[in-house]
Structures are given as C-alpha cells and as structure tokens.
Amino acid sequence: MPATQNQKATISKVLFFIAIALCILGYINSPTALVGGFLFTYFLGHPFPTLNKMVLNWLLKTAIVGLGFSMNLEQAINAGKDGFFLTLGSIVLTLIFGFFLGKILRMESKSSHLISSGTAICGGSAIAAVAPIIRASEKDISISLGVIFLLNSISLLIFPVIGKWLLLTQHQFGLWSAIAIHDTSSVVGAAHTYGDEALKIATTVKLARALWIIPLSFFSMFLFKGEGKGIKIPYFIFLFVVAIIANTYLPIPDALNHGIVTVSKSLLVLTLFLIGAGLSVEKIKAAGWKPMALGIILWVLISIAALLGIFLIT
C-alpha cells in the first residue's frame, strides 16, 4: 500500500533529524554534509524550508564565535597582518574586473555589482548588505545568491583537493581559502577539512575581510547614488574577537575549552548540511548563463591571483 502524503512528510522529518544527529555527533565531515544536504532535499524535499535560513544564520555565527576559543590573540593578529594586503588587493581587483566584465557580458549593472561584491568580500552577507543600498530587485538578489551559493559549494569540495595537490602548507591554504572562497561558511568548512592550523588562519582572515562590507557599502551608495537604508555590520565578529581574548588571557579549564571548540566544529558541519539542503536545482537554473559566467570568471581570477600572491609573500 503506497505511503500517504502525511506519512512521506513524517519519514522526511525523521530522516532529517537523523542526519542532523549524525552531523553533530561527528559521523559526517564537511564536504559530505554539504553534498548530503543537497541530495536530501533533491530526493526527499526539505521538511522545514522556512526555518532553514534563520537557523542557518545563527548556527554559523555561534560556531564561529566558539572557534575563537581555539585561537591565540598574537597568532590571530599575525594572520590578519599576512592577509591584509592580499585582502585589499583582491577586493579592488574583483570589483574592477567585475564592473568591466559585466559591461562586456551586457548584464544588468545591479546584478553584476552584487555578484562582484559577493565574490570580493563574503558572499551572501555582502550581497545582503549591498542590495538595499543600491535598491536591487528581488530577481537581482536571488540570481546573485544562486551564483554565489553554487560556487561556494564547489569551492568547499575542490579547494582542499587542489591545496593538497599543490602541496600548500596549512598557513598557505588558510590564507588562500579566506581570500578565494566567497562565504564564511565554506571558507571555514574547507579549512576545517584541510587542518586545524588552516582553520584558525582562514577564520581570522575571513572575518577581518568581512569588515570590508562597511567601506563597500559606502562605495556602492556612491556608485548607484542610493539613499542608503542602513549598513549592516556583522557584529558577531566582535564576539569572535572577545572569545580569542578570553582564550588568551583567562584561565579557562582545558576540558571546557576543548568542549566549546568540539561543539563549534560540530555546529559548523551541521551548518554546511543545512546550506546544502537549501540549494536547489531551480536556484541554479534561475541564475542563467551570463551571471554564472561572470561569477565563474571572477572566482577563477581571484583564486589564481590570490595563490600567486601567497607564493610571493610566504
């Protein structure tokens, strides 16, 4: 006797919670979680689509703040110094090339600027910050997020493989992933796969990079002569810094420290599962070839340029 719609929905929910448990308990790694989330939604559907984005947002922030308890302030500052000029150069290069490539492809200017902004700084967060300032349409936003989302997923899977093939050190890979991968979640996921030192460097450099959302927002306001509906500052970054300071100077018991970091890494894997679950074939198709071409060209360009820069300074 075939299962009813309610029975299918119940089975989907039960399997969804089992997948969540496997992520939290450490039975699934970052790349598997991402691909598994996508396949789950593709075959079974997402049982909680409206909650996915909200839960995802808080999980990522909580995981990143918790990872701060695995870092030393002096090491974090040194990593930030190494990544500063790479970050600045990559942002300027991406925005300039994005502007001219958008013209060559005859794309709508707001859509190309959103993709360039997401590639230059921190993916979806940059798009969300810039979109209201330039008065982007819902279609522009969804297309840009679709492109960035897909490339993020690919980055998480292939960057660790390329890093090992190129024999990149933990330090080099941490810098490279922080510069060349769009969203913080995929940066941290790829670095987590590569190693603990890469994870620390990548997280620090990426979060420092995210603060460039503020000058980018002002630049976008000037470029599109927007009235500005407020600039979204990623305040959780300051909590991440507080966690690093606490870990450096406070006598936190090793057991507690280890527990916080372990839970944070588990939450990160869960975050990547939910990201995969939110990626659909429809979103990929909706992007179209021009935005996808722009996103891919910028992504390849910044990946190669960042890698060459890292080889020069390390």
Q: At what angle do helices 184-194 and 254-277 cross, to 10 degrees?
A: 120
Residue 15 — pLDDT band, cuts 50, 70, 90?
very high
Q: How far, in Å, CA of 235 to CA of 198, rounded?
A: 24
Q: What is the pLDDT of residues 95-144, one digit of tens each?
A: 999 999 999 998 888 889 999 998 988 777 788 778 777 877 767 777 78
Report how far apart, in Å, the C-alpha atoms of 229 and of each of 54, 95, 130, 143, 222 are: 21, 22, 10, 21, 13
Q: What is the pLDDT of residues 148-168, one digit of tens each?
A: 888 888 898 899 999 999 999
User: For residues 7 and 82, which has the higher predicted lDDT (pLDDT)?
Assistant: 7
User: How much is the pLDDT for 178?
Assistant: 92
Q: How far, in Å, CA of 97 to CA of 293, rounded?
A: 13
User: How much is the pLDDT for 229?
Assistant: 55
Is residue 82's pLDDT more than 70?
no
User: How much is the pLDDT for 233?
Assistant: 64
Q: How far, in Å, CA of 184 to CA of 176, rounded?
A: 13
Q: How far, in Å, CA of 271 to CA of 178, rounded?
A: 18
Q: 98, 310 in Cβ contact below 8 A?
A: no
User: For residues 204 and 2, which has the higher predicted lDDT (pLDDT)?
Assistant: 204
Percentage above 90 pLDDT, the chain? 25
Report how far apart, in Å, the C-alpha atoms of 190 and of each of 177, 199, 240 are: 7, 8, 19
Q: What is the pLDDT of residues 206-218, one digit of tens each?
A: 888 877 877 887 8
Question: Would residue 108 be called left, alpha or beta, if left means φ above 0 and alpha means ψ between -120 and 50 degrees?
Answer: beta
Q: 79, 255 in Cβ contact below 8 A?
A: no
Lowest mean pLDDT among 64-73, 76-85, 126-135, 182-191: 76-85
Residue 1 — pLDDT band, cuts 50, 70, 90?
very low
Is residue 56's pLDDT more than 80?
no
Q: What is the pLDDT of residues 24-51, one digit of tens each?
A: 888 888 778 878 888 898 888 888 887 7
Q: How far, in Å, CA of 139 to CA of 145, rounded?
A: 10
Q: What is the pLDDT of residues 273-308, one digit of tens each?
A: 887 887 777 766 766 788 889 999 999 999 999 999
User: How much is the pLDDT for 207?
Assistant: 81
